[in-house]
Structure 1
Amino acid sequence: MIENLDTSVRLIAVGASLLLLTLLLAGQVRRPIKIALGGLLISAAAYLINSSTVIHPPRSIRPFVDLASVFAPFWTWLFGRRLFEDEPPKWVIPVTTAVLVVSWFIAHFVPRFDPAGFYSIHFVSLVLVADLLRVALGQRADDLVEKRRLIRLWLPVLVAAQTGGVLVFETIAGQAPAHPAVQLLNAVLIFTLTLFVGLALLRTDEELLAEASNLAVAKRPAVDLSASETVLKEKLEAAMAAGYYRTPGLAITDLADHLGVPEHRLRALINRRLGYRNFSAFLNHHRIAEARTILADRDRVDVPVLTIAMDLGYNSLPTFNRAFRTETATTPTDYRREMFIRN
């Protein structure tokens, strides 16, 4: 009975994944998310087939179905990182891909080292799941997009319950077949994750999936502001003009307390009216503007870049350098040199 129900859920989920893949290819989703989401749908369908005790693909293609299923945690991780606009370092993706492929090859074609390949895949996958949970929950306070803030709460629950739970179970139990009830629970969780993806695709929510500008700023004219928003905007501009953005470790909660307004009102103003998607982007806009002025000032040519970074509220030089490069496409040192050559 349980096995029949498990098989039915898996077939429905596979069909839904293929249907969503078709919608994805035709939809207006930004390319990085489209790639990650397409990979997630294909790998999820492969995993549903590969982990079934009833559905058996032909022996000749079984290793390649397993290869696709091995990448399910990878694509889930990459989809989450890109949905939250936190692209991983460039070297991480090819290195992770190489490790997973080599581990899969060992597991299938080098039998004497089989346990090593199996546990290597699970270790890497668990690291990816842990990193996604860190990004989703750890950076939630900085996120200004309300719908995405909600996703940061319950997407980790689904990922931890399905991907993380299955990986831990398989790591402990080894390659022994799972209990039918566990298999059914796994299929239901994957189907639930597929429904979430489908909801996002069918709605094609611009706040979540559409292209965003590099600076994520789309200023609106003052006529769009209500009376209360106008007053709050004036308070915010006064605080920024006074240099409150230089406060080290400044969070939106601190700024809301300083202005004497509820955090949700300030968050809505900065996101929906000023156009910033992350609070750090709002801070960096002001901090980097002052940094550019200082770096181009002949009277302050001997001020070290590290001192400038610390004075503007950054906790380290690498953090400042990344923010500066994001805003200007160059480093602080190169920018200073270019300004003096130009002048």
Structure 2
Amino acid sequence: MLSLFFSHFAFAQIFICVLLLVKHCRHNQSIQLFILLMVSGAGYILGGLYTYEPAPLFYIGFIAGNALPGVFWLTALSVFADKTHIKTWQYWLAASTLILPLASKGIQLTFGFELREFVSAALIYFYLQLTLELSLIFHALYVSLLSWRSDLVQERRYIRGGVISVSAVYIVLIIIVEQLLDVQWTGLDVIKSAMLAGLITAINYFLFDSKLSVLFVTKTEVKQPKAEVAMPPKELGRIISAMEQDKLYQQEGITISSFAKHLAIHEYKLRHLINGEMNYRNFNDFLNYYRIKEVTEKLIKPEFIQTPVLTLALESGFRSLSSFNKAFKGTHGITPTEYRKKHNG
């Protein structure tokens, strides 16, 4: 049976993937979350192989399957959107995809009845759970797409795009096709297990090839960005000039694509120059360097002493005060207001 073969193959690949990553996970949140995602996937596979409720593996599958959307969301934020720190409320929101079904199961075991015996309560619970899971998945796709577009490492863009797409399709199949539409088709199990087996095999291929940075940002990969390069080549000089002289970073909605068109440089080569020569991991970091530099200079100039911080932030190209404050504090370690006070007495 094909589905059984692919399920066992996918489980074996997940086990190998976890073994490859576990030695790197101690101080890396992204790898820790990715391992948790793999473990959730393995638990879901076991639950599918042993579907009878009295079996202990059924409950493993129950927990893993319900935790999967929340763990996928956290993993997407950390791995695919390069979110440096996951907040406490985000962990709780992700955990709610498991807490709700556990609460329902607890009611059944404690009081001897299920919510589905009460039609109105069952419908509310079902659609609440479904809405929550789909919202987290589609938000994960949204933030991953934004990060994918600004990622300057071409190989990582391809791999991340493939991983996030296949993973999302796999989870949506579980939620929509199985739970919402209740499709009873044996071919569906084959498709799911084959997709998962192919996905994990591809990830293991890159991990075996010592390309850990394809998916994760490791300490050895992080380099100090440099905006100025000694004797830059012609094209790199045009990039720096466009930032320092033309101040293109101030343009609202500027993207790597529009910047490439402005410079008449192929987008692939532009990504390589900004990443390989200037050490920026993504396009937003590159833009924010010049934006922060401009605001930093204005904060200590007498003619801008009365200008609100928000005005300076918006004029430099930031879209909101919160994003500016986060970027500024990440650069200087203090808020813009504190920096102004410190340098103006």
Please indicate the TM-score interval, normalised by the length of the shorter structure.
0.7 to 0.9
Deviation, 1:149, is 1.7
Per-residue deviation, residues 129-162 of structure 1 (Å, max 9, x unmatched): 2112112323433111111221343234312321
Root-mean-square deviation over aligned CA pairs = 2.9
Deviation, 1:234, is 1.5
Secondary structure of the residue aligned to 1:314 is coil
Q: CA separation in 1, counterparts of 2:227 and 2:334?
A: 28
Q: CA separation in 1, counterparts of 2:248 and 2:127?
A: 50
TM-score, scaled relative to structure 1: 0.85
Correspondence for 2:198 among 186, 192, 217: 192
Contact 2:21-2:31 at 8 Å conserved across structures? yes
Contact 1:73-1:163 at 8 Å conserved across structures? yes
Deviation, 1:72, is 2.0
TM-score, scaled relative to structure 2: 0.84
Is 2:180 aligned against 1:180?
Answer: no
Correspondence for 2:298 among 280, 294, 298: 294
Match of 1:238 in 2: 241
Correspondence for 2:115 among 106, 113, 116: 113
Deviation, 1:43, is 0.7
Secondary structure of the residue aligned to 2:224 is coil
Q: CA separation in 1, counterparts of 2:222 and 2:199?
A: 31
Correspondence for 1:270 among 265, 269, 274: 274
Q: CA separation in 1, counterparts of 2:223 and 2:95?
A: 33
Correspondence for 2:98 among 88, 98, 101: 101
Q: CA separation in 1, counterparts of 2:134 and 2:202?
A: 22
Judged with a 3 Å threshold, the aligned counterparts in structure 2 of structure 1 residues 288 and 205 are, in CA distance, closer, same or farther, namely same
Is 2:136 aligned against 1:128?
Answer: yes
Q: CA separation in 2, counterparts of 1:275 and 1:269?
A: 9
> Which 10-residue stretch deviates more, 156-165 or 106-115?
106-115
Judged with a 3 Å threshold, the aligned counterparts in structure 2 of structure 1 residues 263 and 15 are, in CA distance, closer, same or farther, namely closer
Q: CA separation in 1, counterparts of 2:26 and 2:275?
A: 21
Correspondence for 2:80 among 73, 84, 87: 84
Match of 1:71 in 2: 67
Deviation, 1:11, is 1.8
> Which 10-residue stretch deviates more, 107-116 or 121-130?
107-116
Per-residue deviation, residues 75-121 of structure 1 (Å, max 9, x unmatched): 33332322234327514432224412321212322233254555544
Secondary structure of the residue aligned to 1:71 is helix
Aligned residue runs from structure 1 range 222-233, under 5 A: 230-233=233-236
Q: CA separation in 2, counterparts of 1:215 and 1:184?
A: 40
Deviation, 1:291, is 0.9
Q: CA separation in 2, counterparts of 1:280 and 1:215?
A: 16
Q: CA separation in 2, counterparts of 1:325 and 1:319?
A: 10
Secondary structure of the residue aligned to 1:51 is helix
Per-residue deviation, residues 61-80 of structure 1 (Å, max 9, x unmatched): 63344212322222333323
Q: CA separation in 1, counterparts of 2:144 and 2:184?
A: 30
Is 2:134 aligned against 1:137?
Answer: no
Counterpart residue identity of residue 190, structure 1? L
Is 2:303 aligned against 1:307?
Answer: no
Q: CA separation in 2, counterparts of 1:17 and 1:39?
A: 11
Q: CA separation in 2, counterparts of 1:18 and 1:304?
A: 54
Match of 1:43 in 2: 40
Aligned residue runs from structure 1 range 274-285, under 5 A: 274-285=278-289
Contact 1:30-1:210 at 8 Å conserved across structures? no
Q: CA separation in 1, counterparts of 2:306 and 2:143?
A: 37
Contact 2:47-2:57 at 8 Å conserved across structures? no
Contact 2:243-2:249 at 8 Å conserved across structures? yes
> Which 10-residue stretch deviates more, 294-303 or 78-87?
78-87
Deviation, 1:313, is 1.7
Aligned length: 331
List runs of 5+ in structure 2 lacking aligned partners.
Answer: 109-113, 117-121
List runs of 5+ in structure 1 lacking aligned partners.
Answer: none
Contact 1:43-1:68 at 8 Å conserved across structures? yes
Contact 1:217-1:275 at 8 Å conserved across structures? yes
Judged with a 3 Å threshold, the aligned counterparts in structure 2 of structure 1 residues 20 and 200 are, in CA distance, closer, same or farther, namely same
Judged with a 3 Å threshold, the aligned counterparts in structure 2 of structure 1 residues 82 and 98 are, in CA distance, closer, same or farther, namely closer
Contact 1:70-1:121 at 8 Å conserved across structures? no
Match of 1:31 in 2: 28
Deviation, 1:238, is 2.0
Contact 2:152-2:271 at 8 Å conserved across structures? yes
Per-residue deviation, residues 191-243 of structure 1 (Å, max 9, x unmatched): 122213312322332533242589853549968x9xxx711122222222213
